[in-house]
Amino acid sequence: MTGREKRATDPADATLTEPIEIGGVELRNRLYRAPLLECAGNGPDAVETYIDELEPAAESGAGLIFQGASIVTESGGCAAPNMTRVHDPAFVDRLSALTDRIHDHGSRIFIQLAHGGLRSMSLWHSEYRTRNPEEGQLAVSEPPVQLRAADRAGLIDLDPDVLSTAEVYDLAEAFGRAAGYAADAGYDGIHLSGANMGIIQQFLSPYYNDRDDEFADGVRFLLAVRDAVREHAGAIPLVTKVPAETAAPPFVRTRLDRDDAVTIAERLAEAGYDALVPVECSVYWDMSLIRGAYPDRAWAAEELRSEYAAVFGSRLRARAVSLLNRLQARQFPAEPGWNADLCRRVRERVDVPVLCEGGLREREHCEAVLGGPEPAADLVGLGRPFYAEPRLPARLLAGKRALCESCNNCTVPQATGEPGRCHTPRIVRRRARLEREGAYSSE
Ligand SMILES: Cc1cc2nc3c(=O)[nH]c(=O)nc-3n(C[C@H](O)[C@H](O)[C@H](O)COP(=O)(O)O)c2cc1C
């Protein structure tokens, strides 16, 4: 194992403002913006959208920014509307305007590379399916019985295309090529979307992976991606989320437990991954990843109701999704730092930085994760609070609590193509007042 005793950069009581390195890249502090969809697409305004979305985080003091998931293939694989594709070097080259801006403010930016696999829009988005009738989903294996039953019941549109061994290597190569384009565009690192029911999690998870070739061991896919990244992007820092499927429903018998996640993390650290982000999640894309309240305001919004019906196939199906949302909000309360215990277990076993995100809203929460006799992590990240306050680091580093209440009203409208932003008027008004009062000035 890569022993805890080998951890080199490890002050026992690291604080949020202390610098740290990931894979040789120096970060000015330990606060990062977790990957969140920017819904920037690939159109003429894409780069400006990214700059508008991410520059405020850099300008206000974030050490590291993880750009939200971008898809490595030319078609398919998008989990939500308006995701960006990064298969085209000419497009990725334009993103150097973004990386320059982030660097001007002393911050660093990693791009997150992804493919949805089964969790692609053709599975769940009725309008998309009608517009793209030929498009199915890349699959690691034949889909699990529960998904096949949901398909027969008309709840989802399953059309799996199980990857051959050669196609798995091609997919890994697509990750590597995109990493090479990103390195050329000035990105400081590569983050892989290893959870959220994307294809990487599907390789890792015994729920999805029933292969009989070398990729029956799902870590082998991450090793193939590593090889491709190293070939195309050299020694650029490489990070991935590592899932523990502890929040899967009880009817899911085969899943990754915490021990599995720790073992995967150890293998990845040994294989040269430069940092790891352990997350407790389900085998599905559900509220275990975005714990918090039922987004009542988002579901009740009159102007979005007919759009939800179009997205989910009918008003009845939209109501069923909303009900599921309500049940899950009860099941997964948003404890501050809900991934900290898993992170601590991983951190005991690896010598690379461990990153913790999920429910952190105060500097005190962050310091608790980073410090104490057994620190849980080396960096801490916040996600949804950046939708509410793009210049959040200025306030958080000054010891103020983030405004975000994890109400999740930012999440559901994205299914209709709405950009990620805070939809809760009380919070939007408070942010405007704080802005007028100069609370986000980082001087
Ligand atoms: C709307 C939305 C989009 C997200 N997009 C991504 C993503 O692209 N990649 C990813 O790894 N995680 C994504 N996440 C998960 C976040 O990175 C983060 O783990 C989660 O929001 C918990 O942190 P928080 O409580 O600070 O929001 C997303 C979360 C939300 C709410």
Indicate which atom in ligand 1 lies nearest the CA of residue 241. 11
Q: Is 54 in the pocket of ligand 1 (CB under 6 A)?
A: no
Q: Is 193 in the pocket of ligand 1 (CB under 6 A)?
A: yes
Q: Is 409 in the pocket of ligand 1 (CB under 6 A)?
A: no
Q: Are 19 and 26 in contact (CB under 8 A)?
A: yes
Side-chain-facing half-sphere of 382: CA atoms under 13 Å = 31
Q: Is 384 in the pocket of ligand 1 (CB under 6 A)?
A: yes
Tell me, in angstroms, the distance from the centre of ligand 1 to residue 387's CA.
Answer: 11
Name the residue with tokens 């991410």: 54
Query: What ranges do the domains of the chain cover?
Result: 4-291+333-436
DSSP for 61-102, written as a single string: T-SEEEEEEEE-SSSS--SSTT-EE---HHHHHHTHHHHHHH
Name the residue with tokens 């293998």: 267
Tell me, in angstroms, the distance from the centre of ligand 1 to residue 212's CA.
Answer: 32
Q: Is 194 in the pocket of ligand 1 (CB under 6 A)?
A: no
Instruction: Give SS3 for 301.
Output: coil
Burial class (CB in 10 A: 0-12, 13-18, 19+), 41: middle
Q: Which of 290, 361, 422 has the most ligand 1 atoms within 8 A of CB, as the residue to mutate?
A: 290
Q: Is 382 in the pocket of ligand 1 (CB under 6 A)?
A: yes
Indicate which atom in ligand 1 lies nearest the CA of residue 360. 26
Q: Which pLDDT belongs to residue 441?
A: 87
Q: Which pLDDT belongs to residue 156?
A: 93
Q: Which of 31, 36, 403 has the most ligand 1 atoms within 8 A of CB, as the residue to mutate?
A: 36
Closest CA to 365 of 419, 325, 392, 401: 401
Distance, CA of 284 to chain centre: 14
Q: Which residues contact 435 (CB under 8 A, 6 or more apart)?
A: none
Pinpoint the alpha helices (H) of 188-279: 199-204, 219-233, 258-270
Q: Which two tokens stand for residue 70?
A: 């971008």
Tell me, in angstroms, the distance from the centre of ligand 1 to residue 289's CA.
Answer: 7
How far is the C-alpha of 202 from the C-alpha of 208, rounded, in Å? 5
Query: Topology of 4-291+333-436 in CATH?
Result: TIM Barrel (3.20.20)
Indicate which atom in ligand 1 lies nearest the CA of residue 193. 11
Helix (H) or strand (E) holding 22: strand 20-22
How far is the C-alpha of 198 from the C-alpha of 67, rounded, in Å? 16
Q: Is 37 in the pocket of ligand 1 (CB under 6 A)?
A: yes
Side-chain-facing half-sphere of 150: CA atoms under 13 Å = 16
Q: Is 337 in the pocket of ligand 1 (CB under 6 A)?
A: no
Q: Which pLDDT belongs to residue 135?
A: 96
Name the residue with tokens 């759009």: 307
Question: From the first residue on, what is the mean pLDDT of each consecutive set of 10 residues in the chain (443 residues)?
Answer: 45 80 98 96 98 98 98 97 98 98 98 98 95 96 96 94 98 98 98 97 98 98 98 98 96 96 98 98 94 94 92 92 92 93 98 98 96 95 98 97 96 92 96 96 70
